[in-house]
């Protein structure tokens, strides 16, 4: 059973995961800014809390499917920093032996099954994970993460219909950060929200403040519990905001300054931290110690990644098939 969202332990757990994500994101951005690493990176800054809540709800054997902007979802699911940074840097010790890269972090050991760079690509696959669990009599749930923009691609519509029809144990978590690349949500569809589309497929749909830890946690906890009971899928639309544009280095000239300022002023990670202290669920020293531990973990992961070798050139030809083909 999942604990109620107001449980201080739950909020502390969400903060811990959110802090891991925020500090990891900060580290990546610092390395990119300082030229320590040159990769394509889609910052998750501003979207940490909803992912942390998802991580706090899910079990280790549940499945997660996510996108190129997926570091928060991966870390929330338990992705260790070591193989994450090693993969970013294309090292053999990376999660995918350096062959996938930042857009395709995969860690089935912890249920991180697919990270797709193709908008909408993950949704139909999540249905398959749900179907397998259903047929194999497992009570695992699949959470598939995607953006507001992905709600406009055919795969979204096909996947929602099938999931509803087959009562699949899948939670469709639409992270509505109000932009798809450089095009605003308002310029992408007529509907004010994504969640009401669920009704068209005979599925439950909920819009929730994804930056409010308690609110998003209780919605996700309910959706996941329902899926686990075999009562079918839910479309959860978590409202949030991208603080750092589409990709690292995005000049963001299409994002109004006032809007950005307001979002940053309501920084969900800082807000949760403040709430924990104000309500007496945590104290400053404990949180500072937690953050210091996370930073040390990041230091270690980055150092290990840097020291790790690149993949052997023979790796180019392996993993294409189960066995290498002669021609």
Name the residue nearer to other proteins (CB basis): 156 or 217. Answer: 156
Residue pair 195/239 in contact (Cβ under 8 Å)? The answer is: no
Q: Helices H, strands E: what count in the chain?
A: 10, 8
Q: Give yes or no for residue 150 binding other proteins (CB under 8 A).
A: yes
Q: Give yes or no for residue 304 binding other proteins (CB under 8 A).
A: no
Strands (E), the chain: 63-67, 112-116, 142-147, 170-176, 179-180, 183-184, 204-209, 234-239
Q: Which residue has the tokens 């997660």?
A: 64
Q: Give yes or no for residue 238 binding ligand TPP (CB under 6 A).
A: no
Q: How far is the CB of 19 from other proteins (least distance, A)?
A: 28
Q: Which of 148, 222, 237, 267 binds Mg ion (CB under 5 A)?
A: 148
Q: Give yes or no for residue 147 binding Mg ion (CB under 5 A).
A: yes
In the region spanning residues 58 to 77, those forming contacts with ligand TPP, defined by CB under 6 A, are: 69
Name the residue nearer to Mg ion (CB basis): 131 or 254. Answer: 254
Q: Give yes or no for residue 124 binding ligand TPP (CB under 6 A).
A: no
Q: Which of 71, 84, 119, 168 binds ligand TPP (CB under 6 A)?
A: 119
Rounded Cα gap, residues 266 and 268, in angstroms: 6
In the region spanning residues 16 to 35, those forming contacts with ligand TPP, defined by CB under 6 A, are: none
Number of residues that bind other proteins (CB under 8 A): 45
Q: Give yes or no for residue 186 binding other proteins (CB under 8 A).
A: no
* 3-class DSSP string for 83-102: HHHHHHCCCCCCCCCCCCCH
Q: How far is the CB of 55 from ligand TPP (least distance, A)?
A: 17
Name the residue nearer to ligand TPP (CB basis): 119 or 168. Answer: 119
Determine the Cα angle at 39 with ends 69 and 291, to 5°: 65
Rounded Cα gap, residues 144 and 126, in angstroms: 6
Six-digit token string for 97:
């032996």
Rounded Cα gap, residues 213 and 35, in angstroms: 34
Rounded Cα gap, residues 181 and 246, in angstroms: 5
Rounded Cα gap, residues 139 and 130, in angstroms: 9
Name the residue nearer to ligand TPP (CB basis): 146 or 201. Answer: 146
Q: Which of 6, 9, 183, 191 binds other proteins (CB under 8 A)?
A: 183
In the region spanning residues 139 to 178, those forming contacts with ligand TPP, defined by CB under 6 A, are: 146-150, 177
Q: Which of 117, 124, 128, 196 binds other proteins (CB under 8 A)?
A: 117
Residue pair 207/201 in contact (Cβ under 8 Å)? The answer is: no
Q: Which of 29, 103, 132, 304 binds other proteins (CB under 8 A)?
A: 103
x/- mask, Mg ion, residues 159-198, rule CB under 5 A, reads ------------------x--x------------------
β 183-184/179-180 pair status: antiparallel
Residue pair 44/20 in contact (Cβ under 8 Å)? The answer is: no
Give bridge partners of residue 162 from the DSSP assignment.
none
Rounded Cα gap, residues 94 and 74, in angstroms: 14
- For ligand TPP, the binding residues (CB under 6 A) are 69, 117-119, 146-150, 177, 179-181
- For other proteins, the binding residues (CB under 8 A) are 38-40, 87, 90-92, 94, 96, 98-104, 116-120, 149-150, 152-155, 180-183, 187-189, 249, 253-254, 310-311, 313, 315-317, 320, 325
- For Mg ion, the binding residues (CB under 5 A) are 147-149, 177, 180
């Amino acid at each position: 059973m999942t604990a109620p969202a107001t449980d201080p332990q739950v909020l502390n757990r969400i903060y811990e995961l959110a802090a891991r994500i925020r500090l990891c994101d900060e580290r990546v951005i610092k390395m990119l800014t300082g030229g320590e690493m040159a990769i394509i990176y889609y910052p998750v800054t501003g979207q940490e809390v909803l992912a942390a809540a998802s991580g706090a709800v899910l079990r280790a054997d549940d499945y997660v499917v996510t996108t190129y902007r997926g570091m928060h979802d991966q870390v929330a699911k338990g992705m260790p920093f070591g193989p994450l940074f090693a993969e970013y840097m294309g090292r053999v010790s990376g999660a995918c032996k350096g062959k996938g890269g930042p857009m395709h972090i995969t860690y089935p050991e912890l249920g991180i099954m697919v990270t797709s760079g193709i908008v909408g690509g993950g949704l139909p696959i999540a249905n398959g994970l749900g179907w397998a669990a259903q047929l194999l009599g497992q009570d695992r749930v699949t959470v598939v993460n995607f953006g507001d923009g992905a709600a406009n691609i055919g795969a979204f519509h096909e996947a929602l219909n099938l999931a509803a029809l087959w009562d699949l144990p899948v939670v469709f978590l639409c992270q509505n950060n109000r932009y798809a690349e450089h095009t605003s949500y308002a310029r992408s569809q007529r509907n004010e929200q994504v969640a009401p589309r669920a009704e068209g497929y005979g599925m439950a749909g909920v819009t929730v403040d994804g930056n409010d830890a308690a609110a998003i946690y209780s919605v996700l906890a309910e959706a996941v519990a329902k899926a686990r009971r075999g009562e079918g899928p839910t479309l959860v639309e978590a409202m949030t905001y991208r603080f750092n544009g589409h990709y690292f280095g995005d000049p963001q000239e299409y994002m109004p300054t006032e809007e950005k300022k307001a979002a940053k002023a309501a920084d969900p990670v800082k807000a949760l931290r403040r709430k924990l202290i104000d309500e007496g669920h945590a104290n400053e020293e404990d949180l500072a110690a937690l953050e210091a531990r996370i930073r040390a973990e990041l230091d270690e992961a980055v150092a290990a990644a840097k020291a790790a070798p690149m993949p052997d050139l023979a790796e180019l030809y392996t993993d294409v098939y189960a066995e290498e083909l002669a021609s």
